[in-house]
A and B are shown apart, each in its own frame.
Chain A
Amino acid sequence: MIEDYKKKNIGPCTYDFRLGEIFKHAKIELVDLSKNKLPKLVKLKLPYILKPGEFVLARTIEKFDTPLDLMSIYSMRSTAFRIGLNILCGLNDPGYKGNAVFGVQNISNHKIKLYKGMELLQTAFIDLKGDAIPIQTKYMEGKVL
């Protein structure tokens, strides 16, 4: 279900992910999803000092192979907001394979160091009722954008 996991990261009813890689958007005048005009991504080296207001996209070390009888909901770990980070995340659908991808924004007035293995995101797995169909997405295999 999860590859490259750490047993100690299994919590009471959640799994805590470890930060693997981060990316920032290259400068772009306008993002227009209707015209598929998207920013290019620049991979950043970890550790990285995130400035106030700065936003990066992140990918976990762990990879999912989500069975069809489960889905999971991502949530920020409370450590994240306690130090001034906002974590932007969504759902993990049945059938998704790949790393979890999420956004990290520094909403504080101070700089915050991001490092490999940092635990900012968690997920709770939910047992589904009925038959799900596997998700079809362009973001499969942990594609960031």
Chain B
Amino acid sequence: MSVLAYSELLKRIVGIDEKKLEKPFIILSKHNTTKNRLNILKELAQNEKITVGKLLRNLHQNIGGGSYLTIKKYFLELEKEGLLKKEKIKNKEIWSFSEEYKDLKEFILK
């Protein structure tokens, strides 16, 4: 007989294995993930597949050059790490979480 502690409760209630979150959190901290960037990732998780411009518009943020390019650069860094993936549809770049890090996506969403 034993009492379930946090990691087991997280697994049983939310369906997230905390151990699988260690690696993505290291990646996020390595790439200067601010509160704003985390909000952008949350919006990405909610939308499945979306462009950077649409993400910024959804969050009522400036979609002008500087903000757009900063987030795009951040996404490209996360893509290199395998955390995000990019698809080219016509002339648009559509972003989503990679299958490998779906636990992070679930964690951010819940």
Contact = CB atoms under 8 A, between A and B. Distances in A.
Contacts of A2: 13
A70 B12 CA distance: 11
A44 interface: no
Contacts of A7: 10, 14, 110
Interface string B1-37: 1111110011011100000000000000000000000
B3 A10 contact: no
A13 interface: yes
Contact of B6 (A12, A127, A128): A12
B10 A10 contact: yes
Nearest to A10: B9
A11 interface: yes
A15 B6 CA distance: 9
A107 interface: no
A10 B4 contact: no
Contacts of A12: 5-6
A126 interface: yes
B94 to A, nearest CB: 28
B5 A13 contact: yes
Nearest to B14: A7
A115 interface: no
A124 interface: yes
B1 A10 contact: no
Nearest to A6: B110
A31 B34 CA distance: 60
Nearest to B5: A13
Contacts of A15: 9, 13
Nearest to A2: B13
A13 to B, nearest CB: 5
Nearest to B4: A125
Given A5-B14, A7-B110, A10-B14, A126 B1 contact: yes
Contacts of B10: 7, 10
A13 B6 CA distance: 5
Contacts of B12: 1, 70, 125
Given A1-B12, A5-B14, A11 B6 contact: yes
Interface centre among B1, B2, B13, B110 (most CB of A within 10 A): B13
Q: Which 10 A-B pairs have the closest CB atoms?
A: A125-B4, A13-B5, A7-B110, A127-B2, A1-B12, A10-B9, A2-B13, A124-B3, A1-B13, A13-B3
